[in-house]
Amino acid sequence: MRQALRCTRPGGGVGFVGVPHGAGTDGQELFFSPVGPRGGPAPVRALLQDLMERVLDGRIDPGGVFDPALPLEEAAEGYRGMDERRAIETLLRP
């Protein structure tokens, strides 16, 4: 968050969704920053059960998020692709 605030030009905005437990930022830095933060919580745990049921029974197709889909034994390549910014999210299948 600090890096995002400091590398955004004055008048710009920083968007965020969710915050890791224990993460925080200095309120004084936010107060004096010429950048506007905008965001909110992402209650994954509250929604996960319902979303998984929708995916598993075919009401939601999560496939549009994944590029590429790889067999489980190629997991290392999937992580490498995300690290090198060649992939957004990798789907690992059996």
Instruction: Give the model confidence (pLDDT) of 55-77 as tens digits.
Output: 899 998 887 788 889 999 999 99
The single residue listed with the structure tokens 């920083």 is 14
4 near 14, Cβ under 8 Å? yes
Predicted TM-score (pTM) above 0.75: no
Residues 86 and 13: their CA atoms lie apart, in Å, by 26
Residue 62 pLDDT? 81
Residues 70 and 18: their CA atoms lie apart, in Å, by 28
Residue 78 pLDDT? 94
